[in-house]
Amino acid sequence: MSKVAIVGAGAVGMTYANTLVAGDFVDEIAIIDLNKEKTQANAWDLLHAVPYLSTSTKKITSADYADCHDADIVVITANARAATFDGDLDRLKLLEANVSMIKSITQSVMASGFNGIFLVASNPVDVISQVIAEVSGLPNNQIIGTGTLLETARLRDMIAEELDVDPKNIHGYVLGEHGSSSFAAWSNMMIGSLPLTTWLKKHPQSKLADFDYFDNRVRDIGFEIFTGKGNTSYGIASVLARLTIAITRNEKAILPVSTYLEGQYGITDTYIGTVAVIDHTGVREVFELDLNALEQESYLKSAEILKENFESIKDKL
């Protein structure tokens, strides 16, 4: 039996819940939000979908923090009402507004006796993940941010569209901050088993040769989605579901998540998007890639930005 508690009944949290139900990925879902009428309505609505899905019977409830005590995973999707971009499309701008709320949520979850895995989607996700690690006192491997999983999906889709192939056959990762300093590790990108750099030698006129274009496109498209519909929900919900499956099924999957680095890539004491092995314990280990000099430089710059932002709010924890 697997149980997930979701904190935040907004577009991300409820799209994730629907993904879990439709995919038959967990047995129990507890929905936590300040708006109890909304959580109860969502619980009923999700339960009413089950009879027409190829899925097992579910327990879906409007819950309180006390219900986290036996959860395998607590997923944080909440954002403070004051956490708005205010015309500046930079996820780090949400930090000041979100940090006190995230601290309170974490304390409430831990007061239940929770000892499972935190999955974090609230932005800025790298710094918020480190806040949760600091406040919860849990081992770092039990706090996982969604990191650059969504950027990686976006890049795979863009490359696949250029080549007219299945994005599942594009292999590689975006690393760094979930934000404006992210970068693709182009030196590790593969089309099937063929290195992209090798393919480009035969197709030098391809649009894929313009790495800067795709790096910028990956960074910008999330804000275009946000501007167009008021949120991003389907992609990030699928990211959370993918992590949930990796944990509950002990997949030992290699995925780019936000986790704590302790010297890898020359980065210390920082949560940042990196490639890691995910199993039932959370982050089993960091899977360190060979990066070229430019990628390594980009990684260090991204880490410095995140470290500075965490230090700016550390006294509030």
Active site residues: 178
Q: State whether the Cα torsion 144-138-98-111 is positive or negative.
A: positive
What are 72's two structure tokens?
């395998």
Tell me how far apart the alpha carbons of residues 182 and 155 are, in angstroms, rounded to a whole number.
12
Strand, coil or helix: what is 288?
coil
User: Among 142, 102, 97, 136, which residue's Cα sits nearest to residue 119?
Assistant: 142
Residue reference for tokens 């980065």:
267
What are 78's two structure tokens?
């909440």
Residues 6+ apart with CB under 8 A from 243: 119, 144, 146, 149, 255, 257, 278
Rg (CA), the chain: 19
> In a 10 Å sphere around its CB, with 0-12 CB exposed, 13-18 middle and 19+ buried, how is residue 170 labelled?
buried
CA distances from 130 to 143, 296, 301, 315 (A): 8, 22, 18, 13
| Inter-residue contact 95 to 79 (CB < 8 Å) | no
